[in-house]
Structure 1
Amino acid sequence: MIRVKILSLLFMGLLISCNTAKKEKASEAEAEPEMEVAQDMGAPNTLTEAEKADGWKLLFDGKTSTGWRSYGKDTFPEGWVIADGMIHCPGSGRGEAGGKDRGDILYDQKFGNFHLKLEWKISEGGNSGIFYLGQESEDLDYIWKTAPEMQVLDNEKHPDAQMGTNGNRQAGSLYDLIPADPQNAKPVGEWNEVEIMVYKGSVWHKQNGEKVVEYHLWTPEWNELVAGSKFPGLNENWADVASEGYIGLQDHGDDVWFRNIKIKEL
């Protein structure tokens, strides 16, 4: 009898253990879909439902050059390529000289107060840039003569990384004016996530999740900063940045890729 009772108790314990394990597995299975939803950040060149509800707009659909054109022209340059969900500027080996079918590109709409997001990756020894508040006229041949620039660069190989002052020509910097701090650019071939926010003259650069630059246009401090840079020698009115303008991507003669370009007007 004692032996039977012991076996009976062991059997009951086994049943309870099995049922507990089944309930735990069922709970885990129910939790999995929630984890997948939480990790879904959206495919490249798309907007999540949350972004749509928050007023974001895609500036690049991942397939066509719709909305983009050459600086000073009505058409998209033949030298740039739309492929594999990216805007690609192939290297020319001629630096800024480029070629007749190349040059900087811009999105054909002016923005004033905005929050811009995009991703870039650069080739070995490569150089490029992201312009904002840029202007266009018959008297201007380059967008950089009017527009602040967030630098895109291979900090390890491109000589410009060692020029300027305190690293103000390295990736993420306000080119030739304010160095990115911290300097957290990713290596060649890896995607860098960047953001530019402009609001009533206040400007912020973010690179890979960290704020790296902050400044305010049109102030005495701004005018003094520009006066100590190379820009007055290139355009004496460079400090007079407009309150709204074009967003542009630079052809500096090196391979560079862009994707996930989106904006929210503020």
Structure 2
Amino acid sequence: MKKSFFLSLTVAIALMTAMPTFAKKANKLTSKEQKEGWTLLFNGESFDGWRQCNSKVMATNWTIEDDAMKVLLGEGKQPGQGSGGDILYEVKKYTDFELSIDWKASDMANSGIFYYVREVPGKPIYYAAPEIQVLDNENASDNKIDSHLAGSLYDMLPADPKTVHPAGKWNTCVIKAKDGQVTITMNGTEVVSYSHWTKEWDNLVQNSKFKDFDGFTEGISKGGYIGLQDHGYPVWFRNIKIREL
């Protein structure tokens, strides 16, 4: 009898401990997060606040599926061919912030998370904005270069691929920028750290594909929009939240 009681109590405690994980709803802030100043950038039901880069409307090749925003292949496009559907959160520009975003890649998928986006007519979203890579590390065609793997500062600094879950599984990326110092965390592990507007940053640019991008040689902005990339593969995003620092 006593043994059965303690067994039942142990099971009950285990279930109670696990409940918050399963009970937490997507695209909802906890009371603790609200007190810490977090704001949702996606409510799980609409694209309010979002629009296509260099456009006044939302890109047509995005949909909402399973509480996530999902980028689709553009009409008539083949996998890997984006259709100009890069999007940004237009409500506010951010300078010092902590951004958390869940993402899930389809097989062979490629995408990216941008910050400090500076819109320039006729130029793509990545013209003058740092990119944190989103990728199916195993099967994507762009998996041959270390700094092109998921979680990396694209074409500049590589992230540890062991921190990334495979295609079809959710990942959580956190970008923290404060006074020019940036850290990138993948699934709870810090994978990249660097400093903007320093000699270190200039060297990273000069040793990357961005050395010939006017937006980078002029200097990236000290504030800008948050953006997501359409690279011609299905990718899901949810739990997009930010707090200013």
1:89 and 1:254 in contact (8 A); partners too: yes
Q: Aligned to 2:221, what secondary structure does the other structure show?
A: coil
User: Cα distance, 1:29 vs. partner?
Assistant: 9.1
2:150 and 2:161 in contact (8 A); partners too: no
The answer to whether 1:59 aligns with 2:45 is: no
2:127 and 2:215 in contact (8 A); partners too: no
The answer to whether 1:50 aligns with 2:50 is: no
User: Cα distance, 1:237 vs. partner?
Assistant: 3.6
Residues 1:34 and 1:256: Cα distance change in structure 2 (over 3 Å): closer
Tell me which structure has the larger Cα radius of gyration: 1
Q: Of residues 113, 117, 120 in structure 2, which corresponds to 1:134?
A: 117
Structure-2 residue corresponding to 1:186: 165
- Show the 5 A alignment for 1:228-247: 228-235=207-214, 237-238=216-217, 240-247=219-226
Q: Aligned to 1:198, what secondary structure does the other structure show?
A: strand
The answer to whether 1:148 aligns with 2:127 is: no
The AA in structure 2 aligned to 1:217 is: H
Q: Of residues 74, 88, 102 in structure 1, which corresponds to 2:70?
A: 88
Structure-1 residue corresponding to 2:176: 197
The answer to whether 1:122 aligns with 2:105 is: yes
By percentage of residues, which structure has more strand?
A: 2
String of CA shifts for 1:1-45, please: whole Å, max 9, x gaps.
xxxxxxxxxxxxxxxxx6x57975896698578536654662111
The answer to whether 1:110 aligns with 2:93 is: yes
* Structure 1: 5+ residue stretches without partners: 1-17
Q: State how far apart, in whole Å, the 2-side matches of 1:252 and 1:260 are.
A: 21
The TM-score with structure 1 as length reference comes to 0.83
1:96 and 1:251 in contact (8 A); partners too: no
Structure-2 residue corresponding to 1:220: 199
Q: Aligned to 2:60, what secondary structure does the other structure show?
A: coil
Q: State how far apart, in whole Å, the 2-side matches of 1:238 and 1:94 are.
A: 32
* Structure 2: 5+ residue stretches without partners: none
User: How many matched pairs?
Assistant: 242
The TM-score with structure 2 as length reference comes to 0.89
Q: State how far apart, in whole Å, the 2-side matches of 1:41 and 1:219 are.
A: 44
Structure-1 residue corresponding to 2:141: 159
User: Cα distance, 1:184 vs. partner?
Assistant: 1.8
Residues 1:56 and 1:21: Cα distance change in structure 2 (over 3 Å): same
Q: State how far apart, in whole Å, the 2-side matches of 1:22 and 1:120 are.
A: 43
Structure-1 residue corresponding to 2:82: 98
1:172 and 1:183 in contact (8 A); partners too: no
Residues 1:53 and 1:217: Cα distance change in structure 2 (over 3 Å): same
Residues 1:115 and 1:236: Cα distance change in structure 2 (over 3 Å): closer
User: Cα distance, 1:182 vs. partner?
Assistant: 5.5
The answer to whether 1:172 aligns with 2:151 is: yes
The answer to whether 1:206 aligns with 2:189 is: no
Q: Aligned to 1:262, what secondary structure does the other structure show?
A: strand
Structure-1 residue corresponding to 2:59: 77
RMSD: 2.3
User: Cα distance, 1:254 vs. partner?
Assistant: 0.8
User: Cα distance, 1:83 vs. partner?
Assistant: 2.5
1:222 and 1:239 in contact (8 A); partners too: no
Structure-2 residue corresponding to 1:68: 50
